[in-house]
Amino acid sequence: MSKYAAFDNETALDYIKSLGQFFAEDAQLSCYEFGDGNLNLVFRIEDQANNSIILKQALPYARCVGESWPLTLDRARIEALVLQQHGSVCPAHTASVLHHDSNLAVTILEDLGHLAILRSELIAGRTFDNLGYDVANYLATTSFYHSDFYLDPQEKKAQVQTFTNPELCAITEDLFFDDPYRDCERNNFPSALTEQVMQLRQNKALLCVVARLKAKFLSSPQTLLHGDVHTGSIFVGAKQTKLIDPEFGFFGPIGFDIGSFIGNLLLNYCAQNGRVKEPPKRRDLHSYLLNTISTCLQQFEQQWHTLSQKHTRDHALQAAGYIDSFLQEVLQDAMGYCGTELVRRTIGLAHVADIADIADESQRLLVQKQTLQLGEQLILNAKSCRSTDDFYQLIISFVH
């Protein structure tokens, strides 16, 4: 059994060579590390013929806002296993795992260096036609095949145990559902937002919905979630969309992932108001983002209908019409979780570059006011959402 030690370029290369399966024995290998160094080491290893792989190693701590706290290495196991599970049903949109070693917290992945991280691309105003469709297919396919509609109950219970992820779930539980709604030193927002934040915290109806969303996050193992579908977890190119980094993966409510994804598109939507000065360019980006959201919602629903009609193995869950009420509840959850993503990215610990990098402070503040308000509206209206169109219309009515 290998014992954990953090790699450097040299030991990473030694390790790769010792595996003996990725490069020719006499290959001339080069190696460099390009992770942000806060959570994980990420090495790119390449031979003289430009064959390359990625070696990712989890670090036993996280550094955030200057602070350092211990963080379980078990997240490397979870991440590799989620990628393998999701890859087994949706290889087109899941990064490939080539090798994993839990003791070293090391995963070797296909190199997706020909693609780019979606968040930076959207910030730069670049668009990808297949994005909504691809992400919807990834989310619908992976969530269906790990749900009670498909999995044998005993197999599902075993998987729920395998993917129990208490430490990383605790981060989400705190940052999404607790901190923003009370006085907590981890929160981070400009004082000009204080009044709006105070009003949010006094809105009883809203706090009730947040409680329900948290309860569901805690106790609703509907499927194996990615757990962290923001635009920084998606590699994109003209013809490819690949999900990475599911270290927050666990069995949770289906609506969480799609809600988080749409929330990140909406954060970018609002950010463009503070970024793009030319109205036509802004209109184009806005209309692209809205189309992407609309496509994503429709395709997600459509794909779930198709898969459940063809492949539901549970007798009781085959009941005619049940899938409609099930998906309606998923949508309501998605809308609620989408709202909590907007709120926590605006006033909680972790912000998004889309907004944080807006240089003009007053422009940034206007964006933050908008994301916070939109988040509130999504949360408050979640329970009355009856269709993908309801969801979409609420967004339209707010942003127009």
Contact residues for a copy of itself, defined by CB under 8 A: 148, 153-154, 156-158, 160-161, 164, 166-167, 169-170, 173, 177-178, 181-182, 204, 207-208, 210-212, 214-215, 218-222, 251, 314-322, 325-326
Of 203 and 373, CB closest to a copy of itself: 203
Nearest approach, Cβ of 143 to a copy of itself (angstroms)? Answer: 12
HSE-CB for 118 with a 13 A CA cutoff: 25
Of 13 and 209, CB closest to a copy of itself: 209
Nearest approach, Cβ of 394 to a copy of itself (angstroms)? Answer: 21
Nearest approach, Cβ of 175 to a copy of itself (angstroms)? Answer: 12
Nearest approach, Cβ of 388 to a copy of itself (angstroms)? Answer: 20
List phi, psi (to 5°) of 243.
Answer: -85, 140
Neighbours of 92 (CB within 10 A): 12
Nearest approach, Cβ of 166 to a copy of itself (angstroms)? Answer: 4
Residue closest to 243 by CA, chosen among 140, 170, 345: 140
Of 53 and 323, CB closest to a copy of itself: 323
Torsion, CA 251, CA 252, CA 257, CA 259, rounded to 10: 180
Residue closest to 304 by CA, chosen among 391, 223, 213, 395: 223
Contacts of 352 (CB under 8 A, 6+ apart): 119, 230, 231, 264, 267, 268, 271, 345
Query: Do 100 and 92 contact (CB within 8 A), yes or no?
Result: no
* Residue listed under structure tokens 């609703």: 220
Of 17 and 214, CB closest to a copy of itself: 214
Nearest approach, Cβ of 173 to a copy of itself (angstroms)? Answer: 6
Of 173 and 284, CB closest to a copy of itself: 173
Tokens of 343: 């709120």
Of 224 and 285, CB closest to a copy of itself: 224
